[in-house]
Amino acid sequence: MLGTGTNSSKKMSNKRILIKNVFWLGAVEFFSKILLFFVIVGLVRYWGAEEFGAFNLAFAYVAIFMILADFGLSTITTREVAKHKDLSEKYLGNLIGLKLFLSVIIGIFFAASFLFVNKPVSIQLLVATLIYSLIQGFQTLFISIFQAWERMEMVFFNRMVFYVGVLISALLVIKFHGSATNLVFGYMMATILAIILGVWQSHLLKIKVKIIFDFKFWRELIKEALPLLGMTAAMVIYANNDTLLIGRYFNNNQVGFYQTAFKILFAFQSINVINYVVFPRLTVLFHEDKEDTAKKLIKIVVGLSIVGLIPLAAIITWQRELIMKLIYGQSFVVSAGVMSLLIWSGVINYFRVFVGNLLVIKKKQNMVFWSILIGTLVNLTINYFLIPKFGFVQAGWSLIISELVILVVMAVSLRKTSEL
C-alpha cells in the first residue's frame, strides 16, 4: 500500500510539473505571439512589402554567420543541467565565456564577407542585425538554464520583457517614421533588459553569473555538441535559403510577400510549446529509468497533437485568402497560397521536432544531424531549380517535402535506436 501511494504521489508530481510548465510556456507563447502579431501587421502596413523584405533579408544573411554562435550548446546545456542542477553555474559561466570568444570569430568572418559577397541590404542594417543577434545569444543561455530547472515562470517573465520591448520599439518606429535599422536597435535594448533580468533570476536560483574560461571544459562541451554543429548549419541554411534565393532572383518586394506568409507560420509554431515543456521532463524520466512513464507521456502527447493540429491546419487552408486579407490587407492576398502550404509544413515540423528531441535525449544527436542534412539537401535542390522559375510559392512546396523527408528519416533512426 505504501509503495502504491508513493508511486501515485510521484505521478501526481510529474503531472503538476507538466501542467505548471505548459501553463507558463503556453502563456508566453500566447502573449508573445499576440505582441508580435501587432508588431508585424503594423510594420507591414506602415513599411509595405519592400522595407519589410529588406528587414527579413538582413536577418537571413546574418543567420548564416550565427551558425557558430551556438550550434547546439544550449540544447546540451538544457539536457545536462536538467539531470545535474548543481552544474548550472559551471555551464552558464563557461558558455558566457565561450560565446564571447565565438562572437569575436563571427565578427571577423562577417567583416571579411563584405569583400566577397554582394550585400543584399545596407551595411548599417546588416551590422546592427549582427550585433543584436550576438547579444540575443546570451539571453538564450539564461532561457536554457531556466528550462533545465523547469522554472518556466522565469522563462515567461524573461521573454515577456523582451517582447514588450519589441512592441514599444515597433510603435516608436511607426510613430517617428523610423527604418528597419532603427527597429533593430530597439531590439537590442529589449534584449539587454532581458539579460539583466536573467542575471537577477539566476541569483534567485542561487546561481552566480560570472565569466569562466575553462578551456578543458570547453573542449568537452564542444565535442559533445559537435554533432549538433552540422545540424545547426543545416537548419540555418534550411530556414533561410528560400528567403535569400527569392531576394537574389526577384526583389525585396517578393521577399516581403513571402515573409508575410511565413510570419503566420511563425505564429502557428507556438504549438511547439509542447515540445519545450516535454523535452526536459522526458529527459528526467529516461535518466531515472522510468521508461514506462515516459512512453505513456509520449503516446498522450502524440495522440492529442494529431487530433488537434490536423483540423486546425485544414481550417486555416480553407480560409487562407480571408485570413491574409484581414491581417495584411487586400494587396497581400497573393501570399495566401504559400501561407497554407507553410502551415502544413509547420504541422510536420512539430512532429519532427518531437522525434528529434527523443533522439537527443538518447544522445543520438548525430542521427538528428544526418536527418536535417538530408532534408536540407532536398530543400536546397528543389528551391535552387524551381524558385527562379515559379516564384516564392514554390518555397512552400519544397518545405513540405523536406519536412516529410526529415521526419521519416528521424522516425526510422529512432526505431532502430529503440531496437538496440
Domain limits for position 186: 11-419
Task: Give, to the nearest 10 degrees, the angle between helix 320-328 and helix 2-47.
Answer: 60
Residues 161-212 have pLDDT tens digits of: 999 999 999 999 999 989 999 999 999 999 999 999 999 999 999 999 999 9
Grid look-up 502551415 returns 343
- Within a domain: 5: no
Ranges 139-143, 157-161, 252-256: which has the least confidence: 252-256
Q: Is the pLDDT of residue 224 over 90?
A: no
- Within a domain: 186: yes
User: What is the grid cell recorded at 383?
Assistant: 528551391
- What does the pLDDT read at residue 251? 78
Ranges 35-49, 88-102, 335-349: which has the least confidence: 35-49
Contact 43, 170 (CB under 8 A): yes
13 confidence band (pLDDT: 50, 70, 90): low
Q: How many domains does the chain have?
A: 1
Instruction: For residue 308, report the phi and psi dihedrals to the nearest 5 degrees.
Output: -85, -40
- What does the pLDDT read at residue 15? 63
Q: Is the pLDDT of residue 11 over 50?
A: no
233 confidence band (pLDDT: 50, 70, 90): confident
Ranges 22-31, 105-114, 180-189, 301-310: which has the least confidence: 22-31
Amino acid residing at 13: S
Mean pLDDT of 351-363: 87
Give alpha helix (H) positions in 149-214. 152-175, 180-204
Contact 362, 284 (CB under 8 A): no
- What does the pLDDT read at residue 1? 33
- Within a domain: 1: no
By the 10 Å C-beta count (0-12 exposed, 13-18 middle, 19+ buried), 171 is classed as: middle
- Within a domain: 279: yes
- Within a domain: 307: yes
Q: In terms of Cα–Cα distance, which of 267, 255, 250, 240 is closest to 49?
A: 255
Supply the pTM of this predicted model.
0.74
- What does the pLDDT read at residue 343? 94
- What does the pLDDT read at residue 172? 94
Mean pLDDT of 297-303: 86
Return the higher-pLDDT residue of 20 and 398: 398
- What does the pLDDT read at residue 18? 67
How large a percentage of the chain has pLDDT more than 90?
A: 38
Give dist(CA 123, CA 17) in Å, integer: 47
Residues with Cβ < 8 Å from 184, sequence gap 6 or more? 58, 125, 128, 129, 132
What does the DSSP 8-state code read for residue 115? T
315 confidence band (pLDDT: 50, 70, 90): very high
- What does the pLDDT read at residue 130? 95
Q: In terms of Cα–Cα distance, which of 101, 94, 98 is closest to 212?
A: 94
- Within a domain: 6: no
- Within a domain: 33: yes
Q: Is the pLDDT of residue 359 over 50?
A: yes
What's the whole-number average pLDDT of the chain? Answer: 85
Residues 316-351 have pLDDT tens digits of: 999 999 999 988 888 889 899 999 999 999 999 999
Mean pLDDT of 24-45: 81
Residues 254-275 have pLDDT tens digits of: 888 898 888 888 778 777 767 7
Ranges 102-106, 142-146, 388-392: which has the least confidence: 388-392
Mean pLDDT of 97-107: 93
- Within a domain: 3: no
